[in-house]
Amino acid sequence: MNRMILATLMLAGVAFAQDPKLADRKENQQDRIANGVKSGALTPHETSKLENKESKINKEVHADRKANGGNLTNNEKKQINQQQNKVSKDIYRDKHNGATQKP
């Protein structure tokens, strides 16, 4: 699990390096997921689903940047923001749904 989180963070650093807002948002959401794992508020299944969603967004950003010479269009930024909003809500919901890991 820790390897997946580390790999996602490394990929995020590369994919979001050119846009500080996206990078800050990505780091914040990764911190929220890590805190949920540490506190036991996120189960391994929930964590995996959230990490997969984040990974898909990272891949989309990477592909969009590759197609546009390293930049994102305003529409792409808007779409990424909407996707991040949804993942943010998913993180909140999963952390507060009462399902906890057993020690």
What are the Cα distances from residue 4, in Å, to 48, 49, 79?
Answer: 9, 12, 25
For residue 70, is it left (φ>0), alpha (ψ between -120 and 50) or beta?
A: left
Dig out the tokens for 14 from the structure.
Answer: 């590369």
Q: Is the pLDDT of residue 27 over 90?
A: yes
Local confidence band at 14 (pLDDT 50, 70, 90 cut-offs): very low
Task: Centre a 10 Å sphere on the Cβ of residue 55 and count the other Cβ atoms it contains.
Answer: 15
pLDDT value at position 8?
59
Residue 98 or 39, more confident: 39
Region 21-33: mean pLDDT is 92
Closest of 46, 51, 49 to residue 2, by C-alpha: 51
Closest of 24, 36, 38, 52 to residue 93, by C-alpha: 36
C-alpha 26/C-alpha 5 separation (Å) is 12
